[in-house]
Amino acid sequence: MNIRLKTSCYAVLSTALAFPAMALAADNPFNTAKVLTNDVGNKAGIQTTGTLPGMIGSIINVALGFLGILLLFYMLYAGFLWMTAGGDTKKVDNAQAIIKNSIIGLLIIVAAYAISNFVLGSLINVSTAA
């Protein structure tokens, strides 16, 4: 048998035998995903275990955060409309109305955050004191 053919057969055979050993040495991907999501949740301030008011507060905070981000994009869109109006007063008025409405929405979101933070903080204090 040719030496090149012989060495290539050995290479293929050794590789074929090594792959199952590498696959068996790997961790379970579901356990890895669970550990990673818990780490991300803890870093984001979302505890996977805790009291019911604490979990509800975390969910409300995340929802209000997403609404704040949505309002930021809404403001950017209104600014883009205003900058591309080209002197058309109707487009400028439309952009100003969008900016005014998004500022009102931002104030509502901040007020909702403050109220929910106060109420849920009081619930947590009452539940831990009892």
- The whole-model pTM stands at 0.56
Residues 5-40 have pLDDT tens digits of 666 666 666 665 656 655 555 566 667 767 676 666
Question: Which position has the higher pLDDT, 104 or 49?
Answer: 104
Report whether 81 contacts 91 (CB < 8 A). yes
pLDDT of residue 15: 64
- CA 25, 28, 29, 34: dihedral to nearest 10 degrees? -140
Q: Please give the angle made by the CA atoms of 62, 64 and 69, to the nearest 5 degrees.
A: 95
Confidence of residue 74 (pLDDT cuts 50, 70, 90): very high
Per-residue pLDDT band at 52 (split at 50, 70, 90): confident
Answer yes or no: are the C-beta atoms of 107 and 31 closer than 8 Å: no
The dihedral over CA atoms of 49, 44, 124, 107, expressed in degrees to the nearest 10, equals -150
d(CA 42, CA 82): 40
Distance CA 89, CA 84 (A): 11
Q: Which ranges of the chain would DSSP assign to H, the alpha helix?
A: 3-25, 29-43, 52-83, 89-129
Q: Quick one: pLDDT at residue 45?
A: 62
